[in-house]
Amino acid sequence: MAASAPTSTSFKASHIPPLSSSRKLLSHFTLPFPHNPNKLPSAAAISHRRALHISNVLTSPDQQLIPDEEEEPSFASRFAPDEPRKGCDVLVEALEREGITDVFAYPGGASMEIHQALTRSATIRNVLPRHEQGGVFAAEGYARASGRPGVCIATSGPGATNLVSGLADALLDSVPVVAITGQVPRRMIGTDAFQETPIVEVTRSITKHNYLVLDVEDIPRIVREAFFIARSGRPGPVLIDVPKDIQQQMVVPNWDQPMKLGGYLSRLPKPPSEVLLEQIVRLISESKRPVLYVGGGCLNSSEELRRFVELTGIPVASTLMGLGSYPCSDEEYSLQMLGMHGTVYANYSVDKSDLLLAFGVRFDDRVTGKLEAFASRAKIVHIDIDSAEIGKNKQPHVSICADIKLALQGLNLILEEKGKEGGVNPPDFSAWREELKEQKLKFPLSFKTFGDAIPPQYAIQVLDELTGGNAIISTGVGQHQMWAAQFYKYNKPRQWLTSGGLGAMGFGLPAAMGAAVARPDAVVVDIDGDGSFIMNVQELATIRVENLPIKIMLLNNQHLGMVVQWEDRFYKANRAHTYLGNPSKESEIFPDMLKFAEACDVPAARVTKREDVRAAIQKMLDTPGPYLLDVIVPHQEHVLPMIPSGGAFQDVITEGDGRTKY
């Protein structure tokens, strides 16, 4: 989902006037734009040595910005200012100047100079993945869990192409990642040299921007621009391709080079219009059945969103990417997830609503189903930071291209002012919420138990209880992913790490790796399926060597569960290569995941009976360091509710499983 920009700042506002006096919404970020917002500054005006934390909007002309020198000391280089050094050392120092402390880098012939330079850095730690895809997914996990850009490094050719799935995933889910690849020397580019791939061309459509470095003197500027682009506006991945001879070339770097991003800066959205915000407030006051439809764009605006719900009393339905932006455990206002496998009551609320407030979302097909039937009775308000998303799939009645954080701040100030005026009663949506509570009672999230078999939903419920809902959860892709979205109650943003738009299997373990590096104080659990887990099983070696305390709860049904579910429902249960076990020994668990863990010296256990689940999960959580728990679950389970692809709310399926013929 389209995401708003990060919330860190490298300048401070000396005075922020209230909305009532100035009505100009202010950014919490940093660009000192001129008084005429239509005339952009030169890049030199915004160039400085510190790490860039840039606004995704033009700041107010009334805002006086002062560099905060106390909080941002000047960078201390290990080189003398006029001392020549290799391009690879310039690259590593440029990363240090961006505040990078962790990278996920796998060496090769065209990138080994960068790795040699990394060994000379006193501040950057390399977490060595065992596959480049593991590295880029780990960088994503790092970024998703922390909000800061994740960095991965790979060699040329196959090393670079192994990053492709991760870059595509980061673009679709708006994750700030900077990927650095080695490349063959400049003179050999285009000659089909050993391990040469034109990675800039390969990734052009799946990155926000990319660079091929052809001049060693450009490295400081390119790295600064790359992090600026990755963080600002709608975040996304940026790739920097560095030929080996550039890495080896000696240079005295100029750290004060201006950025050359005039066109990009001109397209960053302005603060939201007060007139449009007033119009939204008026629509709210006129509505009877409003619903908030919030996505990944709200992850940096959780506090503002909570305040908005407090002021308006509007119930909240979240996309898969938006889980945690509003507390899922709030029984009064949270409707949990909407969409194909969303709750009946969340989808009911959208179907019956007369006003849909779509904040930081992109009307994805897995949410909307049949577009004409989605929110067909409602006026639609769409606020998103990416102008390309507005009207792309569903035409809104009111739209604002802006940072959702600023829009919510403005809406909250308007609502608070109206509350202070007196005589103006806020709209009362309690009857609407009671109607939705009836739907919650009628169609709760539930599951059935068959003998002593372990329902996968039950295992996730127990994990939620034992972690107090406070763990960071990563997943692969499939049934286990949907159950983790439904049955774990996410109360904070950046608790939930999953491949949403791309749906990349193998994401869970490396993403947990990145999260554990970014948030060493947190409990990190990878809820995985056997199909997804085996795709990056080699990262068990990484978590053991790095002693990352990642807990892996493997819901093992010996099948590609989600494809099996579709086979059951739509293909008369005809199995088309979806059984992952050994056909000659169907009674045995194959492959034996415990032996993978044993090979990597990771403690592991298997649980097969429902009565043993709680003690097994508690032991997993109590064991120091990494741990794998192999939970054997029946393959007949289906993720419900389910709205078939291209269907509408009235097509929702709430009953049945693989034990029934359709």
Identify any residues that bridge with 357 across adjacent strands, giving them in sequence order: 292, 381
Asked if 309 contacts 327 with a C-beta cutoff of 8 angstroms, the reply is: no
Structure tokens that stand for 352 in this block: 């019956």
**113, 132, 225, 539: which is the annotated catalytic residue?**
132
CA angle, 546 then 231 then 72, to 5°: 80
Does 288 qualify as catalytic in the annotation?
Answer: no
Provide CB contacts within 8 A for 88, sequence distance 6+. Answer: 113, 114, 116, 117, 247, 248
Asked if 445 contacts 520 with a C-beta cutoff of 8 angstroms, the reply is: no
**244, 394, 405, 489: which is the annotated catalytic residue?**
244
Does 194 qualify as catalytic in the annotation?
Answer: yes
The residue written with tokens 């970020």 in the block is 29
Residue 627 host element (H or E):
strand 627-632
- Residue 151 CB neighbours (<10 A): 28
Residue 227 host element (H or E):
helix 219-231
Does 562 qualify as catalytic in the annotation?
Answer: yes
Q: Which amino acid is at 502?
A: L
**75, 194, 450, 570: which is the annotated catalytic residue?**
194
Asked if 171 contacts 206 with a C-beta cutoff of 8 angstroms, the reply is: yes
Does 649 qualify as catalytic in the annotation?
Answer: no
Q: How far is CA 537 from the centre of its chain?
A: 22
**12, 24, 72, 195: which is the annotated catalytic residue?**
195
The full DSSP string for 470-518 is: -SEEEE-SSHHHHHHHHHS---STTSEE---SS--TT-HHHHHHHHHHH
**505, 562, 620, 642: which is the annotated catalytic residue?**
562
The full DSSP string for 433-483 is: HHHHHHHHHHS-------TT---HHHHHHHHHHHTTT-SEEEE-SSHHHHH
CA distance 493 to 470: 11
Does 104 qualify as catalytic in the annotation?
Answer: no
Beta strand 604-607 with 627-632: parallel, antiparallel or unpaired? parallel
Q: Which amino acid is at 256?
A: D
Provide CB contacts within 8 A for 496, sequence distance 6+. Answer: 323, 324, 472, 473, 485, 488, 490
Beta strand 355-359 with 290-294: parallel, antiparallel or unpaired? parallel
Edge-to-edge order in the sheet of strand 334-337? 334-337, 316-318, 290-294, 355-359, 379-384, 398-401
Q: How far is CA 416 from CA 308, 413, 607, in A?
A: 10, 5, 53
CA distance 574 to 334: 38
CA distance 139 to 103: 7
Identify which of 147, 140, 86 has the alpha carbon closest to the alpha carbon of residue 118: 86
272-308: buried (b, 16+ CB within 10 Å) or exposed (e) per residue?
A: bebebbeebbebbeebebbbbbbbbbbbbbbebbbbb
DSSP 337: E
Peptide bond into 18 cis (omega under 30): no
Q: Residue 511 region, left (φ>0) first, then alpha (ψ -120 to 50), else beta?
A: alpha
Identify which of 219, 222, 259, 220 has the alpha carbon closest to the alpha carbon of residue 46: 259
Q: Annotated catalytic sites, by residue?
A: 132, 194-195, 244, 562
